[in-house]
Amino acid sequence: MRAARFSGLLVAILAIVSVAGACRRAESPPVVLISIDTLRADHLPAYGYRGVETPALDALARDAIVFENAYCQVPLTLPSHAVILTGRAPYRNGVRDNLGFRLDPSIPTLASMLKSAGYATAAAVSTLALRGDRGLDAGFDLYDDRFPRDSPDERPGTATVKVLEDWMGSAAGSGNRVLLFLHLYEPHAPYAPPEPFRSRYASRLYDGEIAAADAAVGRFLDALRRRRLYDRALIVFLSDHGEGLGDHGEDEHGVLLNRESIRVPLFVKLPGSRRKGERIARPVGLVDVLPTIAARTGAPPPGPVDGVDLLAEPRGAAGRRIYAETLYPRLALGWSELYSLVDSRYQFVEAPRPELYDLVADPAERQNLAPTRPDPIRSLRAELARIPRSEANRGPVSAEEVRKLGALGYISVSNAPPGRALPDPKDRLATLKKYKKLFELFYARQDTRVLPAAAEILAEDPAILSVWRMRATSRERLGDPRGAAADLESALASCPDAAPEERSATVEQLAADLARSGDRGRAEKVLRDAISGPLASPGVRTALARLLTESGRSAEALDVLPPGAAADSSADDARGVALAETGRLPEARAAFDAALQRDPGNASILLHRGMLALRERDPAAARGWFEKALAAEPDAPGTLSALGLAQVQLNDAEGAYASWSRAVARDPSQFDALFNLALLAGRMGKTEDARHALERFVATAPASRYRDKIAQARQLLESLPAPAAPGRNASSGAR
């Protein structure tokens, strides 16, 4: 009987616990996090600005608590969002820059916290800088970072909003316990707002971008209202960082820590719009977002955090100081990093020449008080010294990652070696403008203008390896591999302190240019010297293997490739090519499949997989692989040339003719495609097209490589009927 009573009591207790838990879960609100990239607080009407109309954000601000002095912890997209999603300062979450950093999987995130509490979680982002492989996707059921083919590095905000609209309409996102993270990229440079905002803000394109982002936010909030989520939701709106706009000499962001770069908008709309219209002036940080959401949802914060609950701190508390840093000047430009503390009165910037600003008397930070106000500096500097700022552990950076982020305006030219006195970034802003201009020209492929722009920078500082490499790449694109090789040799001589991985990549580029200019022996020596010295790397070994394979020495190539533990997709790809050349087709297929497992969208690997299918006498499969390669890299001349081979074997003469025509139009050095185009044109009865292609081939194909085909082309030209005389048709010629 006693056991029965205990059993009944236990059941009752469990029932109470269960009911309590159910009530707590029912009260947990939908959570919506909206981030507009690169948005200065003082360019929103909610903060007094009158140069732009933002009706959606104005309405949200009226329903929310507005924080008047919110600051980011890093003025860069990836590290700032890492702070937001972890509640940890950058020196504790380990993400210090956009390039070469990844959030460690052991660090819990906002999404993993809410997922553990029973939330369905979805994110849609608008820039490559936040792609899922940087670690921010942890805990999300959906993390959509897909971008359109015509804009592979970013997408319009309306397209990103649609992803979350569709998810909310699916079974996975149809409930109330959801976390929605929307990231919009519009205000980021280059400023190119869509119509009607481009015309409306023709003289203020940055504001036009803000108006476009506001329209996307309005569409998203309307979707929440249609699903009856808006009123019940906890909505946090913010930006990851601001924008310089030239106020202190920096046009964009990342280099300086002045207020225009680190002060951001922050609204918190509570369920039922409680406390709406309230404005809080005390300084707060984006590091506070996660603890605030945790407190509103009842989810325990995932481990130790550096932020505080924004709404639990006593109103009017003014003693807290907000930390910010930028390591970008050192990691990307070779200048000094900067650190900052901001309180309700002062901002202190720790730099080679320190800065102190009185934010009450001088909110625009025009007068540096550091030389005259030592007392505040001593206190602020002492507090900074107590912060355990760890070293930045930057991981390997691929040339492709540099290229993609460079296309978004994120420049990286020099990583300063440790132990060296570094210049103050504020003293190098004129040089920064030259870097920006060089990057714009380089990624716009204006190569004739790149050469003098790079020369001007190198005349001031020849120890910038990436500028040498950009100049060499422009020479390559202008058809001057010998000049490119000379630049790269100068680069290696001028930049002995560059990071080993950068010098190794330069050796790879040098060897490729030497091979293109016909000096394969010297290219091989450069690579073998690197392998036997301090610049040995898997990439250098892979480059040597490719060179040996192209020289008909595939067995040697297999011997020099990096072992499996050190292999990457490029090494697997090179192994597949070498195996195919030695006739070991099943092994080659396995190597290519391993490469695609690591890097499924790599156009080069897809091309080689298609070439293997041609060897296996499967032109239909080959065509499929080539089409995938072209989806990843549209109009790639080598892939178009290979596609034509598959199309011919599939009796698609018109398709092959179009592919080879595109290949030679894109790259006149596609001599095999040009020769094949001439043969196909003759077979199709396109005599004049055949004649033109043969004449071009004879005039331009290098004799050292195409001697036999040039002789064939001459014979074919002699066999063609004489062209009609200008101004005469066939009938007039018969008279």
Q: Which range marks the domain in which residue 276 is found?
A: 31-314
Is 9 inside any structural domain?
no
C-alpha 309 chain-centroid distance: 32
In DSSP terms, 184 is beta-bridged to 36
Is 693 inside any structural domain?
no
Check: CB of residue 295 under 8 Å from CB of residue 312. Answer: yes
Backbone φ, ψ for residue 584 (5° rounding): -95, 70
Is 431 inside any structural domain?
no
Task: Identify the CA nearest to 474 among candidates 452, 498, 445.
Answer: 445
Does residue 343 come out as left (phi exceeding 0), alpha (psi in the -120 to 50 range) or beta? beta
Domain count, the chain: 2
Express as a percent the part of the chain with pLDDT over 70.
90
Query: pLDDT category, 538, cuts 50, 70, 90?
Result: confident
CA distance linking residue 274 with residue 282, whole number of Å: 20
CATH of the domain at 98: 3.40.720.10
Is 80 inside any structural domain?
yes
Residues 590-609: tens digit of each pLDDT: 999 999 998 888 899 999 99
pLDDT at 505: 86
pLDDT at 415: 65
Where among 567, 600, 633 does a domain terminate? 600
Where among 581, 600, 619 does a domain terminate? 600
Strands 284-285 and 70-71: parallel
Where among 600, 626, 648 does a domain terminate? 600
More confident residue, 260 or 376: 260
The two tokens of residue 109 are 């995130």
pTM of this prediction?
A: 0.76
Strand order in the sheet with 178-184: 142-144, 120-124, 178-184, 31-36, 234-238, 266-269, 65-67, 279-280
Is 448 inside any structural domain?
no
Is 19 inside any structural domain?
no
Task: Identify the CA nearest to 544 among candidates 524, 562, 530, 529.
Answer: 524
Is 25 inside any structural domain?
no
Is 223 inside any structural domain?
yes
Q: Work out the average pLDDT over 452-464.
A: 91
Residues 409-436: tens digit of each pLDDT: 666 776 666 556 889 999 999 988 998 8
Residues 644-655: tens digit of each pLDDT: 999 999 999 999
Answer whether residue 565 shows pLDDT above 70: no
Residue 639: C-alpha distances to residues 579, 582, 664, 666, 670 (Å):
20, 22, 11, 11, 11
C-alpha triplet 311, 107, 165: angle, nearest 5°: 65
